[in-house]
Amino acid sequence: MSLATLKLVVIGPAYPYRGGIAYFNTLLCQQLSARHEVLLCSFKKQYPRILFGGRSDRDPSEYAPRIACDYVLSALDPLSWLRCFSMIKRAAPDAIIFHWWVPFWAPAFGSLAWLIRHSLNVPVLLLCHNVLPHDPFPLAETLTRFVFRGAHAFIVQSERDLQDLRRLMPNSLVTKTHHPTYAPLAASRWPRSKAREQLGLTGPVLLYFGFVRPYKGVEYLLKAIPLVQRAMSVHLLIVGEFWDDKSRYLRLIQELGLESVVTVVDRYVPIEELGLYFDAADVIVLPYVDATQSGVIQLAYGFGKPVISTNVGGLAEVVRDGETGFLVKPRDANALAEGIVRFFNTHDVDWAANVERVQEHFAWKYMVEAIEELILQIRS
């Protein structure tokens, strides 16, 4: 069978659900659809309110990437799993791709994968965003193995995830390819001066973007700011919804006397507003204490921005130290401050040109080719 005629079923989040994986899934399906027939199966309902850390799981963006899909699955409704399986069976696909990122979906995905593997002669691929979760999750490894045993092959996006996968599933068929670019999400641009005028900013500007969660290390970034101020003035934008105790961070800002140099935007930012914050910033900062890969880096690159990141997980595979940003030691406010000051004191590097040059390494074609090659290996 020619790869040009493959029929693929993809299972994962999509608009109107929000978040990086929903964007990733939609962009992936758009790319796959250029060469194959794609049926996207998304969620009728995601998480129970008690398990969801945000205010809403719906995307407020007017111009979020979209693609036709069937909303079938509910995480805690076994009947919806059977309906999804029936839909897949009727579609008679050549392969099925599950997105994997958190063990909460293990009962649904594991049951579906088992049904597919034992009832249909169809390759099952797991595209892993995180092999294991960042935050503690009961029976995480047991639940993950339950799902992974139903798959024929895996795609991971960092060396860290590759190691975790090898430990959980020795001798599995796996390929590694980097998280693709989010440049398509960077269409709404602002002139730098206008963005800064809108936000009331002058001078050097740092941007932390994304959900504020314990593993993101925002407290280390806040503790670094007074150290940076000894050498230079700087303003920090913290833009993203808090999934942690916000009062703890506000208290730290007050204790450090940072009220005038830190702006907190505690909400999910729609796509059409991304340019306001990214174009106003000089550099994007990721102070993470744990990570596998990061869509925020790809979003930063999409806006042509360099990145200062801690050297954790797969982030060092994407941030080229001294070329597209700097890598610093995690859990260390001093190291983070030194990296920030070093960035602004480095005048012989064309950061934007370097970022533009590396974009080719993160083209979506590499993810599409990885999927195609795995399907061929399974079917051969």
Set out the domains of the chain in order of their start, with CATH numbers: 3-180+363-379 (3.40.50.2000), 183-360 (3.40.50.2000)
Question: Is residue 296 within a helix (H) or strand (E), and if so which, with residue range?
Answer: helix 295-302
Residue 49 has pLDDT above 80, yes or no: no
pLDDT reported for residue 52? 58
Q: What is the DSSP string of 73-98?
A: EETT-HHHHHHHHHHHHHH--SEEEE
pLDDT reported for residue 57? 86
Residue 51 has pLDDT above 70, yes or no: no
Give one word for 208, left, alpha or beta, with left for phi > 0 and alpha for psi -120 to 50: beta
Confidence of residue 1 (pLDDT cuts 50, 70, 90): very low
Inter-CA distances, 200 with 69, 176, 192, 274, Å? 41, 43, 12, 17
Residue 146 has pLDDT above 50, yes or no: yes
In angstroms, the CA 275 to CA 190 distance is 6
Query: What predicted TM-score, i.e. pTM, was given to this entire model?
Result: 0.95
| 233, 260 contact by CB (below 8 A) | no
Residue 2 has pLDDT above 60, yes or no: no
pLDDT reported for residue 5? 82
Average pLDDT estimate for 54-58:
81
Instruction: State phi, psi for 79 to the nearest 5 degrees.
Output: -65, -35
Average pLDDT estimate for 294-320:
97
In angstroms, the CA 352 to CA 360 distance is 14
Which DSSP symbol is given to 193?
H
Which of these, 66, 77, 73, lies nearest to 30 by C-alpha position?
Answer: 66
Confidence of residue 121 (pLDDT cuts 50, 70, 90): confident
Q: What is the DSSP string of 4-59?
A: GG-EEEEES--TTB-SHHHHHHHHHHHHHHTTSEEEEEEEEE---GGG--SS-SB-
Which DSSP symbol is given to 283?
E
Average pLDDT estimate for 236-244:
97
Tens-place pLDDT, residues 29-47: 999 999 999 999 999 988 7
Tens-place pLDDT, residues 160-179: 999 999 999 999 999 999 99
Mean of all residue pLDDT scores within the chain: 95
pLDDT reported for residue 50? 62
